[in-house]
Amino acid sequence: MKKITMAALAMAASIGANAQIPVPPDGKILSSAYTGKVYSPYAERDFPSNVYFGDTHLHTDISMDAGAFGNRLGLDPAYKFARGEQVESTNAGPVRLSRPLDFLVVADHSDNMGFFPDLIAGAPFILADPTGKDWYDRIKAGKGVGVAIELIGLFAQDKFPPALVYKPDSAPYKAAWDQTVAAAERYNQPGVFTAFIGYEWTSLIHGNNMHRVVVYRDGGDKGGQMVPYTTAAPQGSTNPRDLWKWLAGYERKTGGKVLAIAHNGNLSNGIMFPITEQYDGKKLDVEYVTQRARWEPLYEATQIKGDGETHPFLSPNDEFADYENWDIGNLDVSEAKTDAMLSGEYAREALKRGLELEAKLGTNPYKFGMIGSTDSHTSLATTAENNFWGKHAGAEPSPTRMMHPFMATEKGAIMGWQMVASGLAAVWAKENTREALFDAMERKEVYATTGTRLAVRFFGGWDFTAKDLDNREPAFVGYERGVPMGGDLPANATGKKAPSFMVYALRDPIGGNLDRIQIIKGWYDGKQQHEKVYDVAWSGDRKPGKDGKVPPVGNTVDAKTASWTNTIGASELGTVWSDPDFDPQQRAFYYARVLEIPTPRWSTYDAFRFGVPIPDGAPVATQDRAYTSPIWYTPK
């Protein structure tokens, strides 16, 4: 274990240069070989030295479910809020982020996009339909909740009145998409704030979640040419294979670039990450694995409907696996959750399955980087525990929101207090533009956080040493002699037996100190999948026990006052670690997990502010965390 200085991490996060040479002690002229060439640490460089935080999954009132459940904020408030401006929320007064985001994807649902704002406005063609007129009258009479439940139920069961369906070729649908594209163009400020064009393809297989967020690299000249792909036949489909064909058609037709991000596998009832066959019984084949690998480079591993890294049932030896798990069902009540479904739902298990599928079919379909996002349906991208604004307009701050049922299944109910404040997408890029951020997403140089803004670097190579962290700019060494998160270890040219990994993390400037850094390894031995969690750097003078596990960092949270102190933990941690169990014949992946010290959970803040009890079962504290994208090893 090795601690590194605040200065080293700050420099690593913000300074780079295009020359692969060290900074001279005096900062002036380099050696005689470079006479006359002045070193500028801020010059253009050939690797990303900035980390940008954003949300790739936000809904406005244009999404039918968001509008149905009360959201009355459109595109403009969503962008203004993300940029750091104060806006008026639907039900709970003014709200503002403590720090603006760097980028945003407004990802409204593709199906029936734009319907609800038209219903609220009393569009003549909706009022001309008896059902539409009934809904409008009931909403105006204050019975909007009942209408919302009816609307969502009809749509989920494919029983929505045909005359009121907004088909992609209809004028109202095209108008909603044009507004979406125009708003992204209006708020996109290269170098300052990036507004991506995007949407959510909302496939539900008997209530089982198969959703994907679609993100465009392009502006309106290309991104606006094709309306979103929906799930409604005959133009659309609920099958991911058909979505991938549509993505290919978009690139072929426009010359643009696009990608898809799967999310909430924990609500898929086991069908998000198949190992033998797809949900429809079709065997996984070369086409499936190659197309999924091509179009889905990222997975949204943490968000408001549960954390999706792993689960205690799948990782019984991981003491941090039981974190904000939603594991009681899907988005319907037609099929009860079973333990056997869990292995097809979580990111770590999918990464392991990907190794096995690669060995059998030649391509790893689950070779994804990890990000977080909010999936907020309030138009407000909030993730801070002390400023949590809820999932939908009915769950904005109030004394009773924690005890309102959020979702019910055969296995039980999700209560309001179980909403999760997650998450954010962190992207290492050269600049804050659509092009630079998208390209970083494609190469998976990204990581997920549960809402905190930790700065994390993770490199893999064959000859890193502890001295590499003594460098004022360890990122130079990382890129020169290794690969960053999201990459593949190069062929072993040094003759060394095991790869080495350089990882370092700097705390969120206004967040909790760091507890520890762990490296999670998964591997496939040709017969079985395996995993192991290694503590590699930690704060204080704690010593690992006989089981190799580092004791808890402690807890300063005071539930009565919803307060805590930064008197434990470390402001930064880093180390160079080599795999003691490496087998060069086995496929493997490695990713870093960084944990903060315990701080109050949003429900604890709510209890203090509103003077209500903390609900039974609600954690008093949370340990915010980050998950890096993996680095993969493939035998020769």
- Return the domain boundaries, the chain: 6-17+457-633, 51-429
Distance, CA of 415 to CA of 281 (rounded, Å)? 34
pLDDT for position 597: 98
pLDDT tens for residues 376-386?
A: 999 999 999 99
pLDDT for position 3: 46
Number of CB atoms found within 10 A of residue 431's CB: 14
Would you give the distance in Å from CA 623 to the centre of its chain? 17
CA R_g for the chain = 24
Position 7 pLDDT exceeds 50 = no
Q: Is the CA virtual torsion 453, 455, 460, 465 positive or negative?
A: negative
pLDDT tier for residue 30 given thresholds of 50, 70 and 90 = very low
pLDDT for position 158: 76
pLDDT for position 42: 56
Residue 448 near residue 626 (C-beta atoms within 8 A): yes
pLDDT tier for residue 333 given thresholds of 50, 70 and 90 = low
State the chain's mean pLDDT as an integer: 90
pLDDT for position 206: 85
pLDDT for position 224: 79
Least confident of 200-209, 337-346, 490-499: 490-499
pLDDT tens for residues 572-629?
A: 999 999 999 999 999 999 999 999 999 999 999 999 999 999 999 999 999 999 999 9
pLDDT for position 494: 62
pLDDT for position 17: 28
pLDDT tier for residue 14 given thresholds of 50, 70 and 90 = very low
Spatial CB neighbours of 598, under 8 Å, sequence gap ≥ 6: 512, 553, 554, 555, 556, 557, 564, 621, 622, 623
Q: Output 201 or 143, whichever has higher pLDDT.
A: 201
pLDDT for position 409: 66
Q: Is the CA virtual torsion 449, 452, 455, 456 positive or negative?
A: negative
pLDDT for position 44: 67
- For residues 131-159, average pLDDT: 84
